[in-house]
Each structure stands twice: as structure tokens, then as C-alpha cells.
Structure 1
């Protein structure tokens, strides 16, 4: 699968010779796997396409004929439709590799594949992984009864007992559901099975970091980064660990200036290392969360201009997901409120985050921030109209029309000539 993806990337770069070399590597790997004919379908199809783009039509036709021959042979089998499952599965894995915006489509592909071939362990792995990732990008807390990925991961581990990465994902999900003891069992099993797999090591590090064992997580990540020094994901996880160590120390010395003086050098060192690794991420990978994390660390060293520039840069990206937009607007709102002391700009970005209806923790935090600022303004003497407007905005975006109307009516009591408030009130009344 990976060689097929590499061939596709080489095709996009116009390097067709290297694309063919990658397809040859894919073909060699297929020789050592079960169900060779089904697995050849995608690779042979890719050969046909590459030769087509090279204008070598005779070679393209050779591989089209090979694909048709495999189809004809598979049709003779009792479960001949499995050939389609293989293609859906390959599509699902490819979509999972490329971007978070394709995760839902990947889930659909694995679902269709399993309808055709319900006994394929690899397809169960794909479906469980896709659902797990979809729940992860929503950054919200799930009750166990709402968690769709847990039973899928449990079943996938049963049918794929040698898949260490799958066990790590199950461990992380159990940890999210406060079943840490069970999760630790799976993470330890995964470590024994694949102690030197960088892809797995980052999941293991995440488990230990979330368990509060940050130094253990850093030890694992150091091993991983030695194996893959240019991995943006690993550098990001290291940065997150140092940021956590900074937060832990800052919480320890909070309210105690003498203790703060003792630990200040250590805090500064953790900040420096976090910034170093977040910057390292962006040397190797466009990772949206790394931009946000980096921008929120610069104020720790009073570098407000770099923070501002980083926020502005990431906001210009045109392919941001809803969850990414929420995270950036929330972080930028906090930056404006606490570091720039610009309440108006903070409110603007809290609103931007909150009115994206995608259900995430970022949206919840923005709602809390807007309500906090609203209550502060309402409690002044006399109350300010903006406080009631903020509450009205929250109610409106939560589809609570009646309470939203009441808030805008109160806002107009204190600011009767505000055209924006009148417009909002009219639109709300038309809804009922």
C-alpha cells in the first residue's frame, strides 16, 4: 500500500520512472502476502495509469488486460465480489494517510468493504482506526455508551492479535474512558511486540504523557526521534511534553514568588525546548496544530510579534478543517485577551470559534469564555449592552431563540440605537 502511495506521489511530481520503481516494489511485496491476485488489482491498475500518462499505451493496455484477467478468475470463485472489497479497503487506507478531511470517506470505504468481505481482519483494523481518529479530531469527551470506536477496536484486536499499533490505539481509548489499568496492559503488550517501531512509540509516549508520566514519555520519544529525526509528529509530541512540564512547574509555584524564583530557570528551559521542537515540526511538515501550539508558546518568552505573525500565517491557510479553525480562533482569542489585553479582538475570535457548530471542546471553551465576559459586563453598574448581546449570541447559536430574544431586548434597553442589535432581534422574531 505504501509503495502504491509513493508511486502516486511520484506521478504528481512528474517523476514517472520513480513511480514505476515504486510499483515494482509494491509488486514484490505482494508476492509474500495472502490473496495475491486481489492485491494485484490496485497495483496493476496503477501501472496502467502511469504508462498512460507516459503515453506508453501498449504497456498500459498490457496491465489493463492483466486486471481484466484477474477479474475473470475471481468471478469464478464463490466469493468473487471480494475483489471489490479489496479496492474499497485500499481506498480507505489511502484516504486515512492523506488528511483528516478524508476520515469520514475512509470510514465509508471500510464499511462498504466489510459488507462484501466481513471476515477480513485488515478491514476491521481500517474501520476501527478511522472511527478512532474521527472521535479524536472532535476533541470532545465521550461517555462509554457514546464511544463507537471502543467495540470496534476491541474486536479488531481480537482478530489482529499481532497488530501492536492497534493495541496502542485501544489503550489510548480505554485511557480516555478512565479505564487506565486495562489500557496499561495493552500498551505494555504493544511495547513488547514492537519495541523499535517509531509509529508505535509516539502512541506509547502519548499514553504515558496523559497518565502524567511525562519523563517516561520523553524517554520513549527520544528513542523514536533517534530512529526518525525528521518526523514532524514526533517533534510535536516532544514539544507537547516540554510544554506540560512547564505547566506543571508553573502550577507548583503559583502564588509563591520565592518558589517561582527558584524554578524560573527550569521553567524557561522547558519553554525554550518546547519552542525548539514546535519550530522543528514546521521545518518538516505543515501541521496545523503545531502552528497553534507554537504561537501560544511565544508569549512565554515575551515574543508577541512572532506569536502574532504565526497566528496570521496559519489563518491564511485555505484548507483548514472546522476543528482546526475552532482551535486557532480559540487560541488567538486567548492570546488577544490575556497577552494583548484586547477584549474586543478576543470576543471577535471567541465568536468565530463558537459559531462553527462542529461539536468540540474548543467550541465549549469559547462558549465559556463568551459567557464569562458577558457576566462580567452585566454585573457592572449600570450593566453594559454588550454583556446581553454576548449572551444573546450564545443562545442564538445554540438554537435557543426565546432566550436569545430576551437578551437582545435587554441589550437594546441599554443601547436603543444599535442597528446591529435591532437586526438580530428582528431575524430571531421571524424564526418564531
Structure 2
């Protein structure tokens, strides 16, 4: 094929709506962990299998295994045919688009062109039907589901896709369930967190359950939302219904366990998680959640031991050590199966701290900071926790300040940035209690004000800091830059 013809083919490929044009970036995902999750969905769920096969084909392409990619697309095609009684061709749009891309990537250009032609033929048929749209709900819905499944940080894009799908097909049970799920996750994320009563996911989850009463998973999400609103009794009802419908679905059991854990029923949560782990023993998520339950047990045991007499306290210490060991075991397993699991790193470091294994904790914090494609929120969280470790366990105030500053300098607003700010102000206040002329204290406040855009306050603090540490290059540099910025803004 000539370069001109290949470029023309590539131009047509870029117009397709499929996984290859949805910005699903390899750097944002652990491919092996994604493959395991998708295989589990194929094994334990009977709904939407064609979507799973399509995304699995894209994952295989990312691993460079084009033969397996084609095999999965063939399975997707078979699944669509077997579950498409109305025979509508639009169901095939994403699958055929993925075929075209995989064949192009494997240099089988004629096959790639044939599948592009198939997509064009379907689109022409849709245009001829006045009540149809070339922008189909199926394509938007599958795009939203793929974004949501590929990486949690794609949640906002997924919401937009589901909204477009529902504009075209408002009462589709599947897209309503997925839309409610995406909104529920988005409301719970740190960057967009709102009070339970302010969110709109309750209404959406209730509607999703009405439209699709057979979806047990969405019932567990509704239960969790009701729990957020302190309507636990109603939540328990949906948990019971969900367990009766799908007692061996691992994806559902993890939400059931979360409900129990948040209700303080840690043993019940552990029983559910271990049952799910028996079904999917390589699940990093389940290992992590089991570790979280043991971590909570440590916290609870410490509270109890503080009130106990000396004999019981010694007994409790032994119990706590055993629980810490179990937590560490499961957090380490979570990272064995998913090496990019940021929360598992942080929880493991915390448990190493509890076990007085400070060097291992230090190494864990350093390792998680080297992960590629960390989000700003993840970086803030890591620096906050690392700073606390340096401050309270290593007794290194200067190192703690360094990490709090790094977390605070990332301007993404959330509670981690707020906590970094509070930590810096707290250190400054502690220094002022000992010496009202402490230069470091004024320097820290200057840094906070500077990064909050409060230039006059920052200048005042740096000037005070330089009174007591006149040769400090950092304070001099920041003060000069702030004054220069004011001068430039005033046009001087």
C-alpha cells in the first residue's frame, strides 16, 4: 500500500467511534490488572458481554497481541448476534470499528478497509431512517462504560457519554444503571465530594432500580447511598435483596462488604470479602479491602486497649500485632497483583508504621512516588501522608515540611491540599508559641499565602522572616518575585 493510500485509510479510521478513538491511554492503566477484571466479568456476569470482549480486545492490542484482540472481537460479534433479536446493525458499530483498527495496526490494510466500509454502510442505513440518529445511544453508552471501566479518573468523561446516550434513549435500563453508577462514583471522589444530601445520585439510583430490578449491583450502590444519608434500615433491605439475587457475584460482594464495614460490622465484611476472594483469588481490590478491614480492627483495638487494665492491655497488644500482620499480608498481595495500586501502597506504609517497621514504610512511600501517571490528587495524598510519617515517626520536621509544601503547591482543590496547608500552618503556630520571632514560622506562612494568591500577606510574612534571618536566599527570592509581580501588574 502506498503512503498516500495508507494516510487516507488512517484518516477514515480516525473518524470511527470506537476504543481506538476514545483516548483510552495505556499510561493510565495497569493492563494486566484490567485484563483480570474483564476476565472476571466474563466469568461471573451474563450482561453486556460484547462490551467486555470489545474492551478486552483493545487491551490485548495494547499488549501487542493482535491475534487475541481479533479472537475477542469475534466473541463480541457472536455475543451481539445471539442477544440482538431485533437485528439492529447499530449494535456492531464499535466492534467493527475496533476490527478496522486492529487490522490496520497489524498491517492487514485490506481487511481494515473492509470493516471501515461495513461501519459506513451501517451509518448510511441509520441516516435513511428518520427516527434514527447516526449518533447512537449504543455507541455513547459503550464509550461511557469503557471509560468508567478503564480508569476511575475518566469518570467525568463517562458521565458526559451516558448523558448523551440517555438523550437518545431516556428509558434504557442499562444506560440508566451505568449513569447512576458514574454519578455515584463522581460524587464520592475527593475532588468533587459533596454532602450526601446535595448529590443527585440517590434519585438516579432509585430510577435505575425501578427500570432494572434485576440489576443486583445497582441495588448495593443504592444501599450505600442510603447509608450515606443515615437510612441504614432501608439500605439493609436492598443489601438483602441483592444477596438473594446474586450471592456469588464478586463485584456485588465487594459493595456488600463496604456496607457492612461502614456499619461497623467488620467480621461480617471480612466473611463476605473472603467469600469473594475464593471466587477471584488474584483480585487486588479484594485483598486491599480485606486489609482495610484489618486496619480498622487495629484502630478499634487500640481504642479498647487504652481503657483496659494492664493484663488485658498485654493481651490486646498480642491481638493487635496479629491483626497488623494480617493487614500487611493482604496489602502486599494487593500490590503483587496490581503494582500501580496507590491506596494499597499508602495503607501498606501505614501498617508498616504500626508494626514499627519504619524503613519499610519509608521505602514504600518512595516507591509509590516513582509510579508513572500519578494524578495530582494522588500526589497530594502521598506527600501529605509521607509528611506525617516524617513529622511524627521520623521526627524530622524539615523533611515533613518539604512534603507538605509539595502537596500544597499542587493547586488542585481538595481535602489533601487543605490538610497540607493546615499542617504547614500548624508547624508555624507551634514555632510561634516557642518564639514569636521565629523566621521559619514566618517563612512557612509566606509560602502558604504566596501559593494561595494572597500576595500582600505573603510579602508581609517574608519581610518579617528576613528580619530574623536576613541572609535566607529562599525568602529573598520569593519576596523579590512577589514584589516584581505586583510591579508588573501595576504596569510599572
| TM-score normalised by the chain length of structure 2 | 0.81
Query: What's the counterpart of residue 32 of structure 1?
Result: 83
Query: What's the counterpart of residue 268 of structure 1?
Result: 321
Equivalent position SS for 2:434: coil
1:277 aligned onto 2:327: no
Query: What's the counterpart of residue 228 of structure 2?
Result: 176
Q: 2:375 aligns with which of 321, 325, 335?
A: 321
Query: What's the counterpart of residue 32 of structure 2?
Result: none
Post-superposition CA distance 1:314-363 (Å, at most 9, x none): 10123001111111111111111111111111111112222223233322
1:384-399 matched pairs, under 5 angstroms: 384-399=438-453
1:19-418 matched pairs, under 5 angstroms: 19-30=69-80, 31-33=82-84, 36-81=88-133, 83-138=135-190, 142-144=194-196, 146-254=198-306, 258=310, 259-285=312-338, 286-418=340-472
RMSD between aligned alpha carbons? Answer: 2.4
Post-superposition CA distance 1:293-313 (Å, at most 9, x none): 111211222222211111111
Query: What's the counterpart of residue 31 of structure 2?
Result: none
Structure-2 separation of matches of 1:427 and 1:217:
54
Per-residue deviation at 1:129? 2.3
Structure-1 separation of matches of 2:461 and 2:240:
54
Equivalent position SS for 1:379: helix
Per-residue deviation at 1:141? 5.3
Indicate conservation of the 8 Å contact 1:326/1:354, yes or no. Answer: yes
Alignment coverage as a number of residue pairs: 432
Give the 3 Å change call, closer, same or farther, for CA 108–227 of structure 1 in structure 2. same
Structure-2 separation of matches of 1:182 and 1:363:
35
| TM-score normalised by the chain length of structure 1 | 0.92
Query: What's the counterpart of residue 8 of structure 1?
Result: 58
Post-superposition CA distance 1:356-378 (Å, at most 9, x none): 23233322322332222221111
Per-residue deviation at 1:238? 0.2
* Range moving further from structure 2, 277-286 or 257-266: 257-266
Gaps of 5+ in 1: none
Gaps of 5+ in 2: 1-50
Equivalent position SS for 2:136: helix
Give the 3 Å change call, closer, same or farther, for CA 47–95 of structure 1 in structure 2. same
